Structure 1
Amino acid sequence: MLNGDKERISPDRSGTPLNRLQKRRNRMDSLERLVIERDCERLVTRYCHLVDHDEAERIADLFTKDGVWKSAEATLDGREQIRKAMAERQANTSRMSRHVCNNFSIDVLDADHAEGTVYLTLYRHDGKEGRRLSPLEGPVMVGEYRDRFIRTAEGWRIAHREITVDFLRREAAAP
Structure 2
Amino acid sequence: MRRLPIYLVLDVSESMAGDPLAELGHTMESIVDSLRQDPHALESVHLSVIAFAGKAQLIVPMVELMTFYPPRLPLGGGTALGAALDELMTRIEVDVKKTTADQRGDWEPIVYLLTDGRPTDNTDHAIARWQRHFASRAHLIAVTLGPAADLALLKRLTDDVVAMETASAEALGRFA
| TM bracket, shorter-chain basis | under 0.3
Q: Which structure dedicates a bigger proportion of its chain to helix?
A: 2
- Larger RCO (CA under 8 A, 6+ residues apart): 2
TM-score norm. by structure 1 comes to 0.25
Larger Rg: 1
Q: Which structure dedicates a bigger proportion of its chain to strand?
A: 1
TM-score norm. by structure 2 comes to 0.25
